[in-house]
Structure 1
Amino acid sequence: MSAPLAGIRVVDFSRVLAGPYASMMLADLGADVIKIESPSGDDTRSWTPPVDDSGRGTYFSSVNRNKRSIICDLRDPEGAAEARQLALSADVLIENFRPGTMTQFGLGWDDLEAENPSLVYCSVTGFGSGEGAHLPGYDLLVQAVGGVMSVTGAADAEPTKVGVALVDVITGQNAVVGIQAALRVRDRTGVGQRVEVNLLSSLLSALVNQASAALNTGVSPQRMGNAHPSIAPYETFTAQDGPFVIAVGNDGQFRRLVGLLGLAELAGDPRFARNENRVTNRGELRTILESRLSAESVQHWVHTMTAGGIPAGPVNDVGQAIAFAESLGLPAVTEITSSGRTSKQISNPITLSRTPTQYRLVPPDLGQHQGAAWLPAEGTS
């Protein structure tokens, strides 16, 4: 059985993260992705260190597998003409230039739709194509103005960004959903359409309960460190040798927790019997719990609580997190070999029982597939 997106050609003009993440997800699902790069290449090619064993940057590698790279200098008429040919051959086009830039090169939606009416044209912006079109779409900037930094970090510390460009990743995922929805419509009608996603709207949607609280109460949530505004105990606690997480999600789990700790009387204490009471009195509860938790190690508590049906876990670093997933039998790591190279990659998180994701090509060198863009992907590695 062929891959879900086999036969779909994606011409990807995007750089850095949100757009390349989206095109990589489509490529994993079988699409033939042609990465269009300037003569200097995607910015992330030079974002080093760190580098892998071959000396190539790990940032670029993280979002560019399964793609072919060609160079088109859009400022050169010949390069722009080649890019236009590719765009007119595409099922999907992805771009994340500032609004209006693609039009300058004859590659805007209105320029292409008349000649390629089945095209799905996806634009990724920072703040939309209207009043915010002039604003630069950097993940850190959007985390700041989009509110997530205001709820991240300790209450007595400065606002803190998430430790990865999560807004870009979420926006890339939204782009994939929008593109596949548009392809589904095209399957029925034969007609493509424009898909627009932006970082700010993606972040506001991803704020879920925090945004809902602000919208419906008129009071914006504040930073609470690792605590949860609506559940307790649901945060990090300190054991004898360091921090770990307890994530109690209901009253039954709380009763099991305090029973396991030898503090069963807390389950009947009116300050803690119900979740809403525990949220109100979380400071007192934390003090009581930590006085008991400090007597044993993280490993002891995680093992004991997990066995007792209480969600708990250590605060792993990234390497430990990958190893943990592997220990659970989750396919966290994939090695791709092509063009005489091997690249270690984090696996696509989507599992399909009949048409699994595919790993065909290592992240390409700049212009590696020049002159081969019209060939099927299978013949260009």
Structure 2
Amino acid sequence: MKALHKMKIVDVTQVMAGPYCTMVLGDLGAEVIKVEKYPKGDDTRDMGPYVNGESYCYMMINRNKKGIRLNLKKEQGKEILLKLVETADVFVENFRPGVTKKLGIDYDTLRKINPGLIYCSISGYGQTGPYSHKGGFDIMAQGMSGIMSMTGEKDGGPCKVGIAIHDIAASMTAVYNILAAYIHKLETGQGQYIDVSLVESGLAWTIWEAAAYFGAGEVPQRTGTRHRVSAPYQGIKTKDGYVLVGAANQRTWENFCKLVVNKPEWIEDPRFVTNQDRQKHVDELEKLIEEIFVNETTEYWVTKMEQAGVPGGPILTYDQTLNNEHILSRNMVEEVEHPVAGTIKMLGIPAKLSGTPGTIHRPAPTLGQHTEEVLKELNFSGEEIARLKKDEVI
């Protein structure tokens, strides 16, 4: 039995922030019915690469869902959606604020049909506030949250984080708040509205940076691979690349000095006595470590640090990560059979639950794959389904 086997979700989201949220809930056993717009479906279907005409981006983020294609601009299409909502626990959307009201599928409308409905909206800036009307993608959220201004090399310009960090942050913020609302519903029968924004979800992760600003008035600057409050905690150049050093506390620092670089005198050096001292003189410290590290390979220093009990590791390229023995042993790359694309690989499930583990039990749907199946469950006849097809409702 899966943890969320009783949860039913109607998902009208697209691209990443919404679909990642419902994918995670589907991994944990929720029944997810993904409603795609008519006629072309989720915008992600237009993103390559493709396998037998199916978008790999779409398949990666829409597993464990049933898929239907529905024309919400037609009254009959909206009526079908409302029938789905009648028995749903959760409704997730990521339209720009105001669009659901125009379509007649906003929270106030849907809760009249289903008072126990948990309705989650994911948007760039949230449903209220002076920026709520703006469309917001991940890159705008990175700029708005300050994260882009503090990412990159010290002497360089602002950098986008390599992944869609705000999209995923919003997804996970939506997931844990949906679960909290679901627990409340199980206890009381009451639904509620959840307002999630990309900007705030990423901003909530800037813990050390907020501490620096609120506590000392410091505006975080770009630090490259360096940590803001610990040193040495960064990438250091080696003979053949870079290695990460994580001497984040006094014990590991002293082990690093004595057992890794053979410089016990650094422990008493007034520039490096405390973590605060080391942080203050991090430029000098980095230079001294690098003068030693460039004489040996990354693998040499990783082994040396492991032996000394100092956290350290390589900076892998993404292909190295996906072929790494540890990653593979933890089932973070799984194979799935897709009805059109065939055998495809995708990322596995990161949390390993002992009693109710998540599973990949269904590949991403082809466009409209389960429309007839879902309509039959709603008691539509074959004749009615044929007429809806003819009228371009489904």
TM-score by length of 1: 0.94
Q: Which amino acid aligns with 1:280?
A: K
Whole-angstrom CA distance in 1 between matches of 2:247 and 2:372: 57
More divergent stretch after superposition (74-83 vs 148-157): 74-83
**Residues 290-325 of structure 1: CA distance to partner in whole angstroms, max 9, x if unpaired?**
111111011111111112211111110112122336
- Aligned partner of 1:282 in structure 2 is 282
The Cα of 1:327 is off from its aligned counterpart by 5.4
Whole-angstrom CA distance in 1 between matches of 2:345 and 2:31: 21
Is 2:364 aligned against 1:366?
A: no
- Aligned partner of 2:233 in structure 1 is 234
- Check conservation: 1:338, 1:360, Cα contact below 8 A: no
- Check conservation: 1:88, 1:115, Cα contact below 8 A: yes
- Aligned partner of 2:349 in structure 1 is 348
Whole-angstrom CA distance in 2 between matches of 1:311 and 1:354: 32
**Residues 314-347 of structure 1: CA distance to partner in whole angstroms, max 9, x if unpaired?**
1101121223363573121122225473331111
Aligned CA distance change for structure 1 residues 326 and 55 (closer, same or farther; 3 Å):
farther
Is 2:57 aligned against 1:56?
A: no
The Cα of 1:55 is off from its aligned counterpart by 4.4
Where in structure 2 are the equivalents of 1:80-119 lying within 5 Å?
80-119=78-117
**Residues 14-50 of structure 1: CA distance to partner in whole angstroms, max 9, x if unpaired?**
11111100000000010110111112111111112x3
Whole-angstrom CA distance in 2 between matches of 1:46 and 1:69: 17
Whole-angstrom CA distance in 2 between matches of 1:84 and 1:121: 13
More divergent stretch after superposition (319-328 vs 341-350): 319-328
**Residues 266-299 of structure 1: CA distance to partner in whole angstroms, max 9, x if unpaired?**
1111111211111111111111111111110111
Match of 1:36, SS? strand
What is the root-mean-square deviation in Å for CA atoms of aligned residues? 1.6
Match of 1:371, SS? helix
- Check conservation: 2:119, 2:192, Cα contact below 8 A: yes
Where in structure 2 are the equivalents of 1:121-132 lying within 5 Å?
121-130=119-128, 131-132=130-131
Question: Structure 1 unaligned runs (5+)?
Answer: 377-381
- Check conservation: 1:325, 1:331, Cα contact below 8 A: no
Whole-angstrom CA distance in 1 between matches of 2:336 and 2:241: 37
- Aligned partner of 1:44 in structure 2 is 44
- Aligned partner of 2:196 in structure 1 is 197
More divergent stretch after superposition (75-84 vs 274-283): 75-84
- Aligned partner of 2:164 in structure 1 is 165
Aligned CA distance change for structure 1 residues 313 and 281 (closer, same or farther; 3 Å):
same
- Aligned partner of 1:183 in structure 2 is 182
Whole-angstrom CA distance in 2 between matches of 1:212 and 1:324: 36
Is 2:329 aligned against 1:329?
A: yes
Percent of matched pairs sharing the same residue:
35
Whole-angstrom CA distance in 2 between matches of 1:363 and 1:235: 39
Q: Which amino acid aligns with 1:270?
A: P
Is 2:264 aligned against 1:291?
A: no
Alignment partner for residue 73 of structure 2, among 72, 75, 78?
75
- Check conservation: 2:16, 2:168, Cα contact below 8 A: yes
Whole-angstrom CA distance in 1 between matches of 2:41 and 2:91: 18
- Aligned partner of 1:268 in structure 2 is 268
Whole-angstrom CA distance in 1 between matches of 2:196 and 2:119: 11
Whole-angstrom CA distance in 2 between matches of 1:315 and 1:58: 26
**Residues 217-272 of structure 1: CA distance to partner in whole angstroms, max 9, x if unpaired?**
33311111111121111111111111111111111111111112111111111111
- Check conservation: 2:270, 2:277, Cα contact below 8 A: yes
Whole-angstrom CA distance in 1 between matches of 2:92 and 2:198: 15
- Check conservation: 2:321, 2:327, Cα contact below 8 A: no
More divergent stretch after superposition (348-357 vs 175-184): 348-357
Whole-angstrom CA distance in 2 between matches of 1:146 and 1:15: 23
Q: Which amino acid aligns with 2:150?
A: V
Question: Structure 2 unaligned runs (5+)?
Answer: 378-394
Aligned residues: 373
Match of 1:229, SS? coil
The Cα of 1:374 is off from its aligned counterpart by 5.3
Whole-angstrom CA distance in 2 between matches of 1:124 and 1:106: 17
Aligned CA distance change for structure 1 residues 375 and 352 (closer, same or farther; 3 Å):
farther
- Aligned partner of 1:379 in structure 2 is none
Match of 1:253, SS? helix
Q: Which amino acid aligns with 1:71?
A: R
The Cα of 1:169 is off from its aligned counterpart by 0.3
**Residues 47-95 of structure 1: CA distance to partner in whole angstroms, max 9, x if unpaired?**
12x33x4443222222110111111111112212111211222111000
- Check conservation: 2:327, 2:333, Cα contact below 8 A: no
